[in-house]
Amino acid sequence: MKPFACSALLLMLLPGFALLEARQSTVYVSVVSTKLFVVGAPNPQTGLFYQKTSDDTLWQHTGRNNIRAFGVDIHTPSRGDVLCIASGNGVHQTTNGGKTWKITTGWRITEVLSVAIDPRTANTIYCSTPYGVYKTTDGGTTWNERTNGMGTLFVQTVLIDRNNPETLYCATEQGVYRSDDGAATWKKTGLHVGGVRSLTKHPTKSNVLFVGTDDFGIYATSNGGAYWDKMAAGLDHVAFYTMVFDPTNPEIMYAGGYITGVYKSVDGGQSWRRMNDGLTNLNVHSIAVDPTNGNRVYAGTMFGGVFKSENGGTTWRYAGLGGSQVWTMTVQPF
């Protein structure tokens, strides 16, 4: 999966071109299934796909297909060498940019819904499952359950505070849990709603988080989870599967969910409006913003593939992977 070696060479030889190339980010998407999915069949158009931001509708596949890929996380300091996929079979991991892959988890860890790599060390990885949270500190050789203090085991998402990686948050079926000791213990935050489906943290303000729920809309906290406010201004829907900050301007946020299309906020989540021009599938499960160009936004849909906006969500166009259930997306600045 490492088509970047040539680019690196060019970068050294051609400074002008290198500047252009340096602005090329990489988009990763995990495809759980497609409209053609059949249990036991090969289901080739599933798994992890990636493209350069200039690649239009062209996507390349890496790793195994037919794995029910729910999530993906990239160890940014490795520039994509270390990468994990959260999948039905467990955690698929590569440490060489996709040349080889290994399922590092055994049978006890299944239906992995999200994975999070510690930005300080790629040996520390967390994953969330319907059976709790698991952690490895040796790069996947051994995994241990980390659910002490959790009242529910169904954990949709585990999120690392990248400013303080000992702090983690979990979106669960019974609210949001927080750990301040690397998942050794968990405490329930002040949010008491069920079916928390997504969780996102402000790029720089550690205590600012937003969650999307299956039936209760969007909540936000500005104090690390002690108190939560329901965000209502401009929201006409209740089920939100994804929320993201624009890393280039955290006052800008995007959210999507069940028949919502894409909502955008320009005031840090206080108010929202729908931006669906050209978005022909309104079931949005994942959104990602290019960290090198905040106007470039991607929306992954349920069985409708990927849509792309080059103007901050004002208009959208189809960007490939039609028919796919695009569960997670991320754009990396390399």
Partner 1 sequence: MGALGPMRTTFNILLLCTIIAVPVGAQSIFEQRHGEVVRIASGERDRSFSTITAKLKAGNDVPYALALLDTLTVDEAIGGMFYSYSLIGCYLHTQDLLPDSLKRKVREAYRTRTMYRGDTENHWVMYYTGLYLAAQTWPNEGGSRWFNGRSSSENFQEAGDWLNHWVTTSSTIGQGEFDSPTYVTTFITPMLVLYDFARDPVMKKKAQMMLDLLFVDFAAEHLKGNYGGGHSRDYPEDIINPLAAPSTFWAWLYFGEPGFPPWNETRYRPRHRSAWEPVFGAVSSYRLPDIIYHIATDRTVPYVHRETKRVRNVIRAGREMNPPVYKYTYVTNDYILGSLHGGILQPIQQHTWDVTYASDKPNNTIFTLHPFYSGKELAMFFPEEEKFLSDEVDRYHKVYTNPNKWNSSSPYEQTFQHENALIILYHIEQGAKQPHVDGFFPKNLDELLRDPSGWIFCRAARTYVAIYPLKPYQWMEEEVNWRLRSHELNNGFIVEVGSADEDGSFEAFQEKLLQRKPEYKNFDSTRTVEYTTRQGAKMKFTFDGERVLNGDRPSFKDYGFFNGPFIQSALESGVIRMQYKDKTRTLDFKNVSIVETP
Q: Which of 31, 67, 160, 289 binds partner 1 (CB under 8 A)?
A: 67
Q: Does 143 bind partner 1 (CB under 8 A)?
A: no
Q: Which of 66, 147, 200, 309 binds partner 1 (CB under 8 A)?
A: 66
* Alpha-carbon gap, residue 173 to 53, rounded angstroms: 35
Coil, strand or helix at 43: coil
* Alpha-carbon gap, residue 244 to 331, rounded angstroms: 12
Coil, strand or helix at 41: coil
Which is closer to partner 1, CB of 119 or CB of 195? Answer: 195
Sheet holding 114-117, edge to edge: 114-117, 125-129, 132-136, 144-145
Q: Does 102 bind partner 1 (CB under 8 A)?
A: yes
Q: Does 193 bind partner 1 (CB under 8 A)?
A: no
Q: Which residues pair with 84 in a beta bridge?
A: 73, 93
DSSP letter at 63 equals S
Q: Does 149 bind partner 1 (CB under 8 A)?
A: no
Q: Which of 3, 44, 77, 151 binds partner 1 (CB under 8 A)?
A: 44
Q: Which of 52, 180, 185, 258 binds partner 1 (CB under 8 A)?
A: 258
Q: Does 192 bind partner 1 (CB under 8 A)?
A: no
Q: Does 12 bind partner 1 (CB under 8 A)?
A: no
Residue 276 to residues 97, 151, 262, 323, Cα–Cα distance (Å)? 35, 38, 6, 19
Q: Does 131 bind partner 1 (CB under 8 A)?
A: yes
Which is closer to partner 1, CB of 5 or CB of 107? Answer: 107
Residue 121 to residues 18, 75, 88, 116, 117, Cα–Cα distance (Å)? 29, 8, 25, 11, 8
Which is closer to partner 1, CB of 202 or CB of 240? Answer: 240
* Alpha-carbon gap, residue 229 to 304, rounded angstroms: 32
Which is closer to partner 1, CB of 5 or CB of 38? Answer: 38
Q: Does 101 bind partner 1 (CB under 8 A)?
A: yes
Site string for partner 1, 215-254 (x = CB under 8 A): ------------------------x-x-------------
3-state secondary structure 80-113: CCCEEEEECCEEEEECCCCCCCEECCCCCCCCCC
Q: Does 302 bind partner 1 (CB under 8 A)?
A: yes
> Which stretch, 18-26, 65-73, 160-168, 175-183, contacts partner 1 (CB under 8 A)?
65-73
Q: Does 113 bind partner 1 (CB under 8 A)?
A: yes
3-state secondary structure 221-271: ECCCCCCCEEECCCCCCCCEEEEEECCCCCCCEEEEECCCEEEEECCCCCC
Q: CB of residue 115 vs partner 1: minimum separation in angstroms?
A: 14
**Segment (H or E) for 315:** none
Which is closer to partner 1, CB of 130 or CB of 247? Answer: 130
Residues lying near partner 1 in the complex (CB under 8 A): 32-33, 35, 37-44, 64-68, 70, 88-89, 92, 100-103, 106-107, 110-111, 113, 130-131, 152-154, 173, 195, 197, 214, 239, 241, 258, 283, 285, 302-303, 325
